[in-house]
Copies of this chain bind each other. A is one copy, B any other.
Amino acid sequence: MDGRGVVTRQAAQGKQRGATRRESGAETRRRLLEAAEELFSQEGFERVSVRDITERASANVAAINYHFGSREGLVGQVMARYINPINEERLRLLDEIEARHGDSPPPLEEVMDAFVRPFATQVSRSELSERLFFKLMARVCGDQLAELPAEVERGFETMLARFRAAFRRCLPEVPEEELTWRIHFAVGAMLHSMAHWEMLNRFSQGAAGSPTTETILNRLIQFAVAGMNQGR
């Protein structure tokens, strides 16, 4: 009677044998993050318990508190893991655009592209499926910014300030307040389509032609640009 009925984690997971213990620590941490991402994107940050996560990750309940301090700490990590790189890439693309156009204001379409596209490019970095990734990002950006980890929130604010300035240069004749609203509308269109990516893709597949992420991205950009310009 050594391991009667009890399946060890190694056997259940098929974890490679060569992993040293120190690697195993990071491995568990990674598995927890991955499980949390999947569950959070499907159910939302509220509805998922630490036991749901540890069970899916084949880890002990205490693992989350050991590796992340608390449930909240894990949530913060999940939020930061993709959104920070995305915000950084946004700024990088904006830098390129502004460098390319020098003193003259850049085309609105390019700025909007830099604002939206990083979600599509960073999706491949994730081990999540496209639909879960977008759902997760929509939850991170949309829920309420008060709950974001301080570091993530600061990143958001500086990013938004830069883009706001860029939009302002694109649309010099639009009043400040009006510009705020238009940006907000565009963000809403973006978040909502990410949140319901799955449903919209289902619709699209009925039609002819393959609705790639790229075409959807272009549609969103066209819509947002038209809304920002408003007939100009």
Interface on A for B, CB 8 Å cutoff? Answer: 44, 46-47, 142, 175-178, 180-182, 184-193, 195-196, 200, 203-204, 206-207, 211, 216, 219-220, 222-224, 226-231
A39: min CB distance to chain B, Å: 14
Q: Please judge, given known A-B contacts A180-B200, A187-B192, A207-B177, whether A226 and B230 are in contact too, CB under 8 Å.
A: yes
- In Å, the complex CA distance between A175 and B209 comes to 12
Contact B180 A188 (CB under 8 A): no
CA distance A231 to B196 in the complex (A): 26
Candidates B44, B191, B224; contact of A192 at CB < 8 Å? B191
If A177-B207, A191-B192 touch, whether A231 touches B226 (CB-CB below 8 Å) is: yes
| A223 engages B230 (CB within 8 Å) | yes
Q: Identify 22 residue pairs between A and B in the complex whose beta-carbon atoms are under 8 Å apart, listed by A's number.
A: A46-B46, A142-B142, A142-B192, A176-B207, A177-B207, A177-B211, A180-B203, A181-B193, A181-B200, A184-B196, A185-B192, A185-B219, A186-B189, A187-B192, A188-B192, A189-B189, A191-B192, A192-B192, A223-B230, A226-B230, A227-B227, A231-B231
Q: Which residues of B have CB within 8 Å of A184?
A: 189, 192-193, 196, 200
Closest Cβ–Cβ distance, residue A230 to chain B (whole Å): 4
Partner of A181, one of B46, B47, B188, B219: B219
